Each structure stands twice: as C-alpha cells, then as structure tokens.
A and B are shown apart, each in its own frame.
Chain A
Amino acid sequence: NAGVTQTPKFQVLKTGQSMTLQCAQDMNHNSMYWYRQDPGMGLRLIYYSASEGTTDKGEVPNGYNVSRLNKREFSLRLESAAPSQTSVYFCASSEVPGANSPLHFGNGTRLTVT
C-alpha cells in the first residue's frame, strides 16, 4: 500500500525555469492538498482540491498552478521559478475535506531554485 507518492524527490531549477511536481494517492481519497514547508514557518497550504474537478487557493498560491487530473492525481506547476520558491513541498490527501478526516502526507519534494 503506497499511500501518497510524490515525484521527484529532489529538484534543482534555475530562476525562470518551469516544472511540475507530481502526486498520486491510492487510498481512493476525495480531497488532495499541496503544502510547502519552510524553516520556522510550519506547513502552509498552497492549493487544495476538495473533490475531483474542483481546486481552490490556499494561504500562499502566488506563483503556482494546480491540476486535479483525476481522483488519484494532483499536480503542482511552477511556471517561472523564483528563489523564494525554494522549499520542501508536500502533497497530502484526505478521505473528505476539512475536519472530518485527517491528512495523509507523501514524503516530499525538496526544490532548490538558484
């Protein structure tokens, strides 16, 4: 049982380059999330998808786009990477949105933008 799988694990980009972070879950969860983790700032929500076919902005959406490709997959795209986007990115899923079920996290993508 893989849970939440993220690819790649590590990535280095130059300023202005673009890339897509991939996330897939095999738990048949309805909701999926993208967080970024920075030292001393905890986990901050970038975008989420409460159910297949919907996406909404979180706390820090600027510079990012998302696609809920199907129930299993939720990708995060950086169109023009900036050094401020250097971070560890976590994808998570939950059976239903909000407080009704806990989050299950992937192991993260460590992104460095030079």
Chain B
Amino acid sequence: GENVEQHPSTLSVQEGDSAVIKCTYSDSASNYFPWYKQELGKGPQLIIDIRSNVGEKKDQRIAVTLNKTAKHFSLHITETQPEDSAVYFCAASTSTGNQFYFGTGTSLTVIP
C-alpha cells in the first residue's frame, strides 16, 4: 500500500516568516494530495489540495507544490500569523482507491 512520510514533525517560525512542510509518497498511482489543518480539540479541516495534473496551486498565503517524478509535495505558508499555529497533515489517494493515506503530522508554532 501507499506510504506517506512527512517532515518535520515540529516547526517553529517567527510571525511573518514562511513555513514549509514536506511529504513524500511511494505509490506512483497516487494522484490526489490534500492538506489538512487541525486545531486543538477539533477535527482536521481541508485547507488546500492538488491533483497530479497540476504542479502548483495557490490560495492567498498558502501554496502547494507537487513533483510527480520525485514523488514529493510540499505546503508553503507565507507571512505566517499566530492563528496558523496548528498541526498540519498531508495525505495521498488514488482515483481508483477508497482510502486516504496520511502523513504523521507537523506541529507548527508561530511565535508572535
């Protein structure tokens, strides 16, 4: 099955700096890569996703890049704010599969 690895496990940045979280996957058939943000005491919420026919996608301060050849994808958060502090999860899935495979999460702390 698919194996998704996520790094780093913890990340601290100063407010206003950028944060980058990286994930790798093993199954070349994976073609959908969502990112979730989980705040304390809540369930994960989708913040951005990318499909394999696209190399980059942006939504305001958040962007995701995908390198299919290298089988890795990354989340970029620019101009970080304290409310960006949360745990972020990457995931991968295939169009024919019924399962999402999650990374182990990155705890992001934005220091005011």
Contact = CB atoms under 8 A, between A and B. Distances in A.
Decide if A and B are genuine partners: yes
Interface of A: 4, 31, 40-45, 48, 50, 56, 58-59, 90, 92, 97-100, 102-108
A106 B43 contact: yes
B100 A45 contact: yes
Describe B's contact surface by its main secondary structure: loop
Given A98-B96, A99-B94, A40 B43 contact: no
B99 A108 contact: no
Given A41-B104, A90-B44, A102 B99 contact: no
B99 A45 contact: yes
Contacts, number: 68
B98 A31 contact: yes
Nearest to B46: A102
A102 B98 contact: no
Q: How many residues of B sit at the interface, in one of the four size bands? A: 20 to 34
Nearest to B29: A99
Interface of B: 1, 6, 9, 30-32, 34, 36, 41-46, 49, 51, 89, 93-100, 102-105
Nearest to B4: A42
B43 A98 contact: no
Given A42-B89, A90-B44, A98 B102 contact: no
A74 B93 CA distance: 22
A98 B104 contact: no
Contact of B102 (A4, A43, A97): A43
Contacts of A44: 102
B43 A4 contact: yes
A56 B89 contact: no
Interface-centre pick from A50, A59, A105 (highest chain B CB count, 10 A): A105
